[in-house]
Amino acid sequence: MQHRDITAGQGREATAAGTPDMNEVVGRDDLLLVTLDTLRFDVAAELAAAGRLPNLARHLPGGVWEKRHAPGSFTYASHQAMFAGFLPTPAEQGPHPRLFAARFAGSETTAGRTFVFDTPDLVSALAGAGYRTVCIGGVGFFNKQGPLGSVLPGMFQESHWEPSFSVASPSSFEAQVERAEQVVASLPRERRLFLFVNVPSLHQPNWFHLPGATRADGDSRETHAAALEYVDRHIGRLFAAASSRRRCFAIVCSDHGTAYGDGGFTGHRLGHEAVWTVPYAHFFLEASA
In this prediction the pTM is 0.92
Q: What letter would DSSP give residue 104?
A: -
Per DSSP, what are the bridge partners of residue 29?
26
d(CA 250, CA 138): 18
Q: What residues contact residue 219 under an 8 Å CB cut-off, 6+ apart? A: 204, 205, 206, 207, 260
Task: Tell me whether residue 45 is exposed, middle or buried, using C-beta atoms within 10 angstroms of its C-beta: 0 to 12, 13 to 18, 19 or more.
Answer: buried
Q: Tell which wins on pLDDT, 50 or 5.
A: 50
Say yes or no to pLDDT of 3 above 50.
no
Pick the CATH number of 11-285 from 3.30.420.40, 3.40.228.10, 3.30.457.10, 3.40.720.10: 3.40.720.10
| pLDDT value of position 106 | 85
- The residue-averaged pLDDT of 226-242 equals 98
Q: Which residues of 57-79 are buried (b: 16+ CB within 10 A; e: fewer)?
A: bebbbbbbbbbbbbbbbbbbbbb
How many angstroms separate the Cα of 132 from the Cα of each of 22, 58, 117, 184, 198? 18, 28, 17, 10, 17
Say yes or no to pLDDT of 200 above 60.
yes
| pLDDT value of position 9 | 38
Angle between helices 172-186 and 221-242 (to 10 degrees): 10
Which pLDDT band holds residue 289 (cuts at 50, 70, 90)? Answer: low
Q: Tell which wins on pLDDT, 2 or 204.
A: 204
Q: What residues contact residue 284 under an 8 Å CB cut-off, 6+ apart? A: 20, 29, 247, 248, 249, 250
Per DSSP, the three-state class of 152 is coil
Per DSSP, what are the bridge partners of residue 133?
194
Q: pLDDT tens digits, residue range 69-94?
A: 999 999 999 999 999 999 999 999 98
Choose among 188, 197, 181: nearest CA to 237. 181
d(CA 273, CA 257): 8
Angle between helices 221-242 and 41-49 (to 10 degrees): 70
Q: pLDDT tens digits, residue range 14-68?
A: 333 478 999 999 999 999 999 999 999 999 999 999 999 999 999 999 999 999 9
Percent over 90 (pLDDT), the chain: 86
